[in-house]
């Protein structure tokens, strides 16, 4: 195997604790059983912090964002004091949905059915014919049903459990890992949401391993070290997973197969940062990563990437792929963020809502396009959120490759022949996820150290 320069080893990421696994066999019913779907909803989805909104979508008091998760619709509303409150999007008179659009601005929410007026803080200030209610005027008595809400990395997170742990406690090591990237300032440059015919866990299973890369995405090994022996896999106590893949480098898999090391993707990356690919051919191919880090330090400053000053050298080039329990996977780079989320379908365990989004910094004056998974997007572009059914349009080449597999796997999980998994160690993050889901179902989570986010306010 071709040798790496010594400096390559210089900055290992700190290991996470890797909790002991029990050896779950992950049988197929977990992906299609209505009963299991119901158990998950009652005991896991409604007890866990969910990334649901984005702060910059609702900058002013009265701005709201409405997002769906399973059978629920949640309203996130900017308050007069600039804090954000989250409510179930359901009128407390007779259950009408208050709004249906994703984003909007209101003085107050007026229910479309009988006109009750709910203020942005959830209080009721108008009900028609208040004297006609035998139990008394509902104003001052009823409020919208509020749930815990907090923010991190510019995202709005909600939790339907009134007795939940704090978001910081829930996120564990993610909090520190992400702080230096300044993700809260980044903008969305791709927003594709598709209803996909597979259970949400099939999607997360897929993003919880890189074992499929050589087969499903053969194109990536020119710029990412996809060989598992050179990759660090981590599992946190809180249930989140991390995979550290060195990037800006040829993969050792290429070397193993005796293929050309400096592929066009890597050459493009080098040129992007002002380096000449020809300087690295003929034995210096594994020096590209370090050279890129040096070039990025200098050029990043010129581009206005202030976050580069906070980041360690390896964070400049490398791919940190996280899966945040339960439904959010993300690849984080120094200059971009691939957002992958699967939300449960309201009623059908065999479908999910899949978000394939991209965030990147937008420093003032920077005009170079953002390179998203779906191609370049102008830095000042107004990006439309596109919602569609699977196969109505492409989700990008790479994600189409993934979904082609996950939708077929959903069919396989219904087969009598599927008896459960036979996992490689590099796939153990999948097992961890399933064991954690079971812990929620058995009522063992959240962790005993509770500090109710609502009570703390």
Binding residues (CB under 5 A) for Fe ion: these are 402
Choose from Fe ion, ligand FES, none: what does 96 bind? Cβ within 5-8 Å by kind.
ligand FES
Contact (CB, 8 A) for 245 and 233: no
Shortest distance in whole angstroms from residue 293 CB to Fe ion: 26
**DSSP character at residue 25:** -
Q: Which is nearer to ligand FES, 112 or 264 (CB)?
A: 112
Shortest distance in whole angstroms from residue 162 CB to ligand FES: 23
Shortest distance in whole angstroms from residue 86 CB to ligand FES: 19
Contact (CB, 8 A) for 207 and 410: no
Choose from ligand FES, Fe ion, none: what does 388 bind? Cβ within 5-8 Å by kind.
none
Q: Which is nearer to Fe ion, 244 or 273 (CB)?
A: 244
Rounded to a whole number of angstroms, the CA Rg of the chain reads: 24
Q: Which is nearer to Fe ion, 92 or 356 (CB)?
A: 356
CA-wise closest residue to 227 among 207, 205, 247? 247
- Residue 443: exposure state from Cβ atoms within 10 A (0-12, 13-18, ≥19): exposed
Contact set for ligand FES, span 73-92 (CB under 6 A): 91
Shortest distance in whole angstroms from residue 70 CB to ligand FES: 22
**139 scored as a contact of ligand FES (CB under 6 A):** no
Among 93, 97, 187, 428, which residue sits at the site for ligand FES (rule: CB under 6 A)?
Answer: 93
Q: Torsions phi, psi of 133, nearest 5?
A: -100, 110
- The H or E element containing residue 323 is strand 319-324
Q: Which is nearer to Fe ion, 106 or 398 (CB)?
A: 398
User: How many Å apart are CA 80 and CA 11, to the nearest integer?
Assistant: 45
User: How many Å apart are CA 95 and CA 439, to the nearest integer?
Assistant: 32
User: Could you tell me the two tokens for 405?
Assistant: 């597999």
Shortest distance in whole angstroms from residue 61 CB to ligand FES: 23
Shortest distance in whole angstroms from residue 158 CB to ligand FES: 22
Q: Which is nearer to Fe ion, 171 or 395 (CB)?
A: 395
Q: Which is nearer to ligand FES, 17 or 112 (CB)?
A: 112
Choose from Fe ion, ligand FES, none: what does 402 bind? Cβ within 5-8 Å by kind.
Fe ion
DSSP of 177-189, one letter per residue?
Answer: HHHTTTGGG-EEE
Question: With CB under 6 A, what is the number of residues at the site for ligand FES?
Answer: 8
Q: Which is nearer to ligand FES, 109 or 200 (CB)?
A: 109
User: How many Å apart are CA 282 and CA 52, to the nearest integer?
Assistant: 48
* Helix, coil or strand: residue 328: strand
Contact set for ligand FES, span 96-115 (CB under 6 A): 96, 111, 113-114
Shortest distance in whole angstroms from residue 429 CB to Fe ion: 14
Choose from ligand FES, Fe ion, none: what does 111 bind? Cβ within 5-8 Å by kind.
ligand FES
Using CA of residue 260, residue 297, residue 328, residue 399, what is the dihedral sign?
Answer: negative
Q: Which is nearer to Fe ion, 72 or 402 (CB)?
A: 402
- Dihedral Cα 164, 166, 172, 176, nearest 10 deg: 160
Q: Which is nearer to ligand FES, 93 or 428 (CB)?
A: 93
Q: Which is nearer to Fe ion, 104 or 214 (CB)?
A: 214
Choose from Fe ion, ligand FES, none: what does 114 bind? Cβ within 5-8 Å by kind.
ligand FES
Q: Which is nearer to ligand FES, 92 or 351 (CB)?
A: 92
Choose from ligand FES, Fe ion, none: what does 32 bind? Cβ within 5-8 Å by kind.
none
Strands 72-78 and 63-69: antiparallel
Nearest residue by C-beta to Fe ion? 402
Shortest distance in whole angstroms from residue 205 CB to Fe ion: 11
DSSP of 221-290, one letter per residue?
Answer: GGTB---GGG-EEEE-TTS-EEEEE-BSS--HHHHHHT--SS-HHHHHHHHHTT--GGGG-SS-GGGHHH
Contact (CB, 8 A) for 421 and 138: no
Shortest distance in whole angstroms from residue 217 CB to ligand FES: 49
β-pair partners for 66: 75
Shortest distance in whole angstroms from residue 138 CB to ligand FES: 9
**312 scored as a contact of ligand FES (CB under 6 A):** no
CA-wise closest residue to 143 among 126, 112, 122, 121? 122
**116 scored as a contact of ligand FES (CB under 6 A):** yes
- Residues lying near ligand FES in the complex (CB under 6 A): 91, 93-94, 96, 111, 113-114, 116
């Amino acid at each position: 195997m071709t040798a790496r320069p010594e400096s390559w080893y210089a900055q290992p990421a700190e290991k996470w604790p890797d909790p002991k696994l029990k050896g779950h066999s992950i049988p197929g019913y977990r992906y299609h059983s209505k009963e299991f779907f119901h158990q998950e909803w009652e005991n896991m989805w409604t007890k866990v912090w969910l990334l649901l909104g984005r702060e910059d979508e609702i900058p002013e008091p009265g701005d709201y964002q409405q997002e769906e998760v399973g059978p629920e619709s949640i309203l996130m509303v900017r308050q007069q004091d600039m804090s954000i409150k989250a409510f179930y999007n359901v009128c407390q008179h007779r259950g009408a949905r208050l709004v249906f659009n994703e984003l909007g601005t209101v003085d107050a929410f007026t229910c479309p059915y009988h006109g009750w007026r709910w203020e942005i803080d959830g209080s009721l200030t108008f009900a028609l014919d208040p004297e006609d209610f035998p139990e008394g005027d509902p104003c001052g008595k009823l409020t919208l049903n509020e749930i815990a809400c907090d923010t991190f990395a510019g995202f709005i997170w909600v939790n339907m459990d009134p007795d939940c742990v704090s978001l910081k406690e829930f996120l564990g090591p993610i909090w520190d890992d992400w702080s230096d990237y300044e993700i809260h300032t980044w903008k969305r440059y791709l927003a594709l949401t598709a209803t996909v015919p597979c259970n949400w866990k099939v999607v997360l299973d897929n993003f919880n391993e890189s074992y499929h890369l050589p087969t499903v995405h053969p194109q990536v090994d020119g710029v990412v070290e996809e060989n598992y022996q050179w990759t660090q896999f981590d599992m946190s106590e809180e249930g989140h997973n991390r995979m550290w893949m060195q990037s800006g480098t040829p993969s050792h898999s290429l070397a193993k197969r005796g293929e050309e090391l400096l592929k066009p993707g890597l050459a493009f990356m080098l040129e992007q940062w002002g380096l000449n690919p020809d300087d690295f051919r003929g034995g210096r191919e594994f020096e590209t990563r370090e050279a890129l880090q040096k070039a990025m330090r200098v050029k990043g400053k010129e581009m206005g990437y202030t976050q580069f000053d906070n980041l360690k050298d390896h964070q400049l080039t490398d791919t940190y792929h996280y899966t945040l329990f339960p439904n959010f996977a993300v690849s984080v780079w120094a200059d971009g963020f691939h957002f992958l989320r699967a939300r449960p379908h309201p009623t059908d365990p065999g479908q999910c809502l899949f978000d394939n989004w991209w965030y990147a910094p937008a420093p003032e004056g920077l005009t170079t396009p953002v390179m998203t998974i779906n191609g370049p997007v102008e830095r000042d572009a107004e990006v439309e959120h596109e919602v569609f059914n699977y196969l109505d349009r492409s989700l990008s080449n790479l994600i189409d490759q993934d979904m082609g597999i996950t939708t077929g796997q959903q069919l396989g999980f219904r087969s009598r022949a599927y008896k459960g998994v036979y996992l490689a160690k590099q796939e153990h993050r999948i097992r961890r996820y399933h064991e954690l889901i079971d812990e929620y179902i058995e009522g063992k989570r959240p962790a005993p150290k509770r500090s109710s986010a609502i009570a703390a306010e």
